[in-house]
Chains A and B, each alone.
Chain A
């Protein structure tokens, strides 16, 4: 086989090694990856802990949002009930949707990735453990505070979709809507942090030899999931920013009377909102594809087709957002191809379902707890998929849209496509982290109640919808013919809840966390790497992967791994470390030094949450202070990284030497920065789309933009920033230490250019004058924010440079600063020209 990086695959044949390993190696690993004690649980960054905390918190939100659902079902059990008053009901249904989507579903699958991926890939941890910890704490603190808004009657009531103008200041004057906009703000940050972690983890920290075609299917799912987050979330980040700015400063993005357009929100929201459904579904489908082969005791049929289906979903789900908008009055040509894409996106789902059926067909399936839940999932998900095809047809959607038919459809898809797989996954993987497995006997009851309850609750809603019952109604009138159906739904909801309650009882009886070994082990007889014997450092040694189910194909592998007969059977540098491999064929490239426990991610996370909450309750000084503390904490955390390492090269087993440090495009830091740049570029692109959209939909409000000629010097200035960043990185690698200086200058110059641009535009337009003004100044404000972060980068780079931490070989910080400052210049260049070109 040809090599990707120049690594000779012939070297893999040296493993498993034969000689005895010295016993102090294992001691060393234990010491370096030691378990936390007492307060140290708060500063832990290891994925075994963060993953469990993360999952537990997300599951808590599932329960909380489930209670809200039960409250709603009680209110709707009969006409004109007075359990929840109107205003409360509107808050409750908003929170149910918001919490389920943002605080349960996305974090839950992200947490599953954090917990499972390093084990499946046989890495010691994810590449940025502190980032995981930060993402978790920001989410946990912020999420709980956000949920608490319900208890003081300040919860948002605009629906999880928050359509303006209802959510604008004029119709929602309270701070309820701000809770949503800012509350979701930091959850988005947390999701993106997790996504960066997962992409780099999956592509760069796989066990040697685990080429893309041997990667566990869950890792594929998480890869596509994370990429989708990177592309989709910027859109909702921008949307929430714009709406919050409109509410706070009266800029008119969505106010039709002043040249904004409420439909712009719908485009931005659903460009995120529909992929979101697949963002939730894909990891769950990945879990299904891991569990089913084990349940059926055979290998997965159609692995490559499932990979294809996941990639296809990742793309095509970005072409279906307008099917939430078929009743908005879009031109027929537009609804036509959105309808077509909505059909197309059902094909990958079909491929996956038939792959699962095919796997069950050639195997010897067992009806154990995970088995029951995967079967239930297939039945429910297919039903939801079929109603999905129905509503993809525009004329049928004109009738079904915004009725209980949709409520039924989406719950079939999400419960069948995510909740049931998740329960299967919990039964399946709990033995990996707990010293006892769950009860198989109780599981049958849990499954029976949940499956029956689900169908009893949601099947009648199809009919209620066809009978004309709209969604989001806090009550209905007697004589509407909906009474009986709603009563049945309520009964079903409680059956479902009893199933979940039984599960909780089982969890309380049997779940005993055992992250450092001593877990129940491979009770279902699976074949993937997460079932290797592990301790806190993950596996003793990192195996060479030759197939998709190594544990089935090589019965000796567990023993060999445990005896240290594979890669990295010790800590080569005396620090936490893992092997970074190449993205396609997973050839070992270098050893990454990983940061250990730290209090700073926790501090940064808490103050990030405080920052957003303070803005919500308009405690601006406190908010400012929190923001400053957040930035300081992050810099402090950062300053401990990227340190010189004594050994340039280390032996990672069998005499194979790799470097301990890497710069440039092969380093994991570079990858993370590039992904972050994609996020920022997407936000910026969405803002520019907004400007163009308003121009095309509200031409009557357009004024001639600032002159292109006046913008050219600014654009040239931005061009110089890019040039400085690119050339200085190159010069520095050539040994020119002075080359740091121009980068610093460029970083400091960028905000001046933005300031000049703002001055020029202020002479032409005001941000609260029209949609155009608002959109232009939004683009300028984004640029200002990026430039301000660029200044921070420059300052940090300067500090490290003065401390002598930037050397010709150890210059990752310079690399990343150059990337960011270069990006800042590029975005400014495009923005300067684009704002002047639209409607010129």
Chain B
């Protein structure tokens, strides 16, 4: 699998994502995490030492360990001091990382969790939708982006560990999460709140661009759609695809499924589970239920291999 064609390469492996932050909304948490992991190990060693002394230590040491005083020191005083310090650190950090309302001119994106994919809507100054996309988020580096997290059905949780902690998506509520990527790259994530069926296969990527590259990407998305013709578009419109999917510039305007206007440009397919190429596109159309059981798109086994190829070609051309 190519390096940045699919989510898992972007998420997985060494170093652990939580310990490898890529922006200021994750980095302080990583510092805290290291302090906790090292401090926790230290405390564990202290307790184990105390236990070893209790079992095998010199009588004098054991006597000193065997009284109310030791319990007060080990069980109350020591944790009391350590935990007070940690609590102050934690509270201060909570306050400083808590997302506040949008700043003027700040980039805002609405991400809606759906079973089992992500609807991404880039918002304008007044909150109006500007660009519609799915399953990936493009951001410029070095710039905070405010995410407005909502849910269309059940609970989901938005989590891109290298950029920020997670935040739940709850019907009837709008939660805010701010992210900022400091280096160009692809940052993976996955739904973290159990949402039934294919919860395990609900991935997501954030693609961080240099300012120039981001401007280019944005211009492409805002450009009027190119007309398309041929077997693929015809099949798309005739076979019911348009009932759920939108391809701007064509009569296809369904909204139940992901917007496919730029599906060919996406890093991955099926919400971050497959690389995006002609083969996987054709496979997904014919048999998405095997690839991602329970997802809301039916299998289209009726297509002949030629039809599938034509459709996949069309999809791939939608850059």
Contact = CB atoms under 8 A, between A and B. Distances in A.
A contacting B, Cβ–Cβ less than 8 Å:
yes
Interface of A: 85-87, 90, 157-159, 163, 165-166, 171-172, 256-257, 261-263, 301-302, 305, 309, 327-329, 332, 335-336, 339-340, 343, 346-347, 350-355, 357-363, 365, 375, 378-379, 382-383, 386-387, 389-390, 392-403, 463, 465-468, 470-482, 698
Contacts of A477: 6-8, 203, 273
B195 A166 contact: yes
Given A361-B54, A467-B12, A86 B294 contact: yes
Contacts of A382: 44, 47-48
B124 interface: no
A329 B173 contact: yes
B206 to A, nearest CB: 13
A97 B185 CA distance: 38
Contacts of B72: 305
Closest 8 CB pairs of A and B: A398-B165, A256-B172, A481-B13, A362-B66, A473-B200, A481-B12, A480-B12, A351-B75
Contact of A379 (B51, B53, B172): B51
Nearest to A256: B172
B190 A386 contact: no
Interface string B150-165: 0001110101010011
Interface string B27-70: 01100110011001001100110110111010000110111101
B173 A305 contact: no
Contacts of B18: 399-400, 465-468
Contact of B53 (A359, A361, A466): A361
Given A350-B79, A402-B192, A395 B90 contact: yes
B76 A468 contact: no
Contacts of B190: 468, 470
Contacts of B195: 166
Contacts of A363: 66
B71 A466 contact: no
A312 to B, nearest CB: 10
B193 A463 contact: no
Given A343-B83, A481-B12, A86 B293 contact: yes
A263 B40 contact: no
Nearest to B48: A379
Given A90-B197, A329-B167, A354-B75, 9 more contacts: A166-B155, A166-B194, A302-B71, A357-B51, A361-B62, A362-B63, A394-B90, A468-B16, A470-B200
B153 A467 contact: no
A196 to B, nearest CB: 32
Contacts of B83: 343, 346-347, 389
A347 B80 contact: yes
B43 A386 contact: yes
Contact of A347 (B16, B43, B79): B79
A350 B173 contact: no
A217 B293 CA distance: 52
Contacts of B89: 393
B199 A473 contact: yes
16 contacts: A87-B294, A171-B115, A171-B196, A327-B166, A329-B176, A332-B98, A339-B91, A340-B87, A358-B54, A358-B65, A386-B44, A389-B40, A390-B36, A400-B18, A468-B161, A468-B189
A467 B28 CA distance: 17
B191 interface: yes
B123 interface: no
Contact of B33 (A350, A396, A480): A396
Contact of A466 (B16, B55, B191, B192): B16
A258 to B, nearest CB: 10
Contacts of B90: 339, 392-396
A402 B68 CA distance: 38
A346 B79 contact: yes
Contacts of B166: 327, 398-399, 401-402
A407 to B, nearest CB: 12
B239 interface: no
B171 A395 contact: no
A301 B273 CA distance: 57
B45 to A, nearest CB: 10
Contacts of B66: 301, 358-359, 361-363
A379 B97 CA distance: 34
A357, A387, A466: which has the most chain B beta carbons within 10 Å? A357
A165 B90 CA distance: 31
Contact of A171 (B48, B154, B159): B154
Nearest to A387: B40
Contacts of A394: 90-91, 93-94
A475 B200 contact: yes
Contacts, number: 279
B120 to A, nearest CB: 19
A329 B168 contact: yes
B102 interface: no
A332 B99 CA distance: 10
Interface string B1-15: 100001111011110
Given A394-B90, A479-B8, A481-B13, A350 B75 contact: yes
Given A382-B47, A398-B165, A165 B154 contact: yes
A86 B198 contact: yes
B318 interface: no
B12 A347 contact: no
A395 B47 contact: no
Contact of A351 (B8, B29, B71): B71
Nearest to B293: A86
B105 interface: no
B232 interface: no
Nearest to A339: B90
A327, A335, A352, A382: which has the most chain B beta carbons within 10 Å? A327
B71 A358 contact: yes
A468 B11 contact: yes
B31 to A, nearest CB: 10
Contacts of A87: 197, 293-294
Contacts of B33: 390, 396, 399, 466
A715 B159 CA distance: 51
A481 B14 CA distance: 7
Nearest to B37: A390
B200 A257 contact: no
Contacts of A361: 53-54, 57, 62-63, 65-66, 70
Contacts of B40: 386-387, 389-390
B29 to A, nearest CB: 5
Contacts of A476: 200
B216 to A, nearest CB: 29
Nearest to A471: B194
Nearest to A304: B68
A697 B32 CA distance: 33
Given A396-B29, A463-B16, A468-B16, A171 B55 contact: no
Contacts of B55: 360, 365, 375
Given A351-B71, A402-B193, A472-B194, A343 B157 contact: no
Interface in B194-212: 194-201, 203
Contacts of B19: 466
Contact of A343 (B44, B65, B87, B194): B87
B43 A353 contact: no
A467 B86 contact: no
Contact of B173 (A256, A343, A353, A472): A256
A631 B47 CA distance: 54
A477 B165 CA distance: 22
A395 B29 contact: yes
A263 B173 contact: yes
A393 B57 CA distance: 35
A390 B40 CA distance: 8
B95 interface: yes
B297 interface: no
B12 A358 contact: no
Nearest to A400: B18
Given A257-B171, A386-B43, A301 B68 contact: yes
